[in-house]
Amino acid sequence: MKHIFKQGEQGKPVFLLLHGTGGNERDLLPLAEMLDPSYSVLSVKGEVDENGMARYFRRLREGEYDLEDLKFRSQELYDFIEKSAKEYEFNLENLILVGFSNGANMAINLALRDEAPFKKALLFAPLYPLDLKDNHKDLTNFEVFLSMGEQDPIVTLEQSKRVIEIFKERGAKVHETWVNSHEITQEAVIKARNIL
């Protein structure tokens, strides 16, 4: 998969950067610098093309995911992360999921995988409108920062609250902050930094 790996200080965690719709593997590099420039970075470009815009999985329409494609793409990305951990010599448990919009949605999917050992996620403008009654992942050792928009034109308040519930229902430690819209703000980044 098209990606950038930037080696940080030995023994420090690794940010997995997942961009929003229409972004690329360079989009969130400044965010990683603001969060902690000493961490390593694995930034991956989504391989789905939606009208010329890169995404991590297909959707049927706004807010409605192509579940078969999500399953396939999630497996593909997880396999790539495992391969990258061997190639770049980092521990999967030291990987911190960092996503914006479509990237945040894919990060939620990765965090909910039974085999995923991830312990932390920083998610900006997430949306996950899926029925998860068959998912019983124990997230008691998981910490997540959620930045959500009160006036987000894409994600409703109800949908944002559902994302909070997904993590709380599974025992995760949740830190939430509210911004204005579908965005990454400096204030949210400063708050996200506190859980690192």
Instruction: Residue 63: count other Cβ atoms within 10 Å of its Cβ.
Output: 12
3-state DSSP call for residue 27?
A: coil
Q: Within 13 Å, how many C-alpha atoms sit on residue 6's CB side?
A: 19
Residues that are catalytic: 101, 152, 182
Token pair for 174 = 């949740």
Cα(25)–Cα(9) distance, rounded to whole angstroms?
21
Neighbours of 119 (CB within 10 A): 19
How far is 144 from 121, CA to CA, in rounded Å? 5
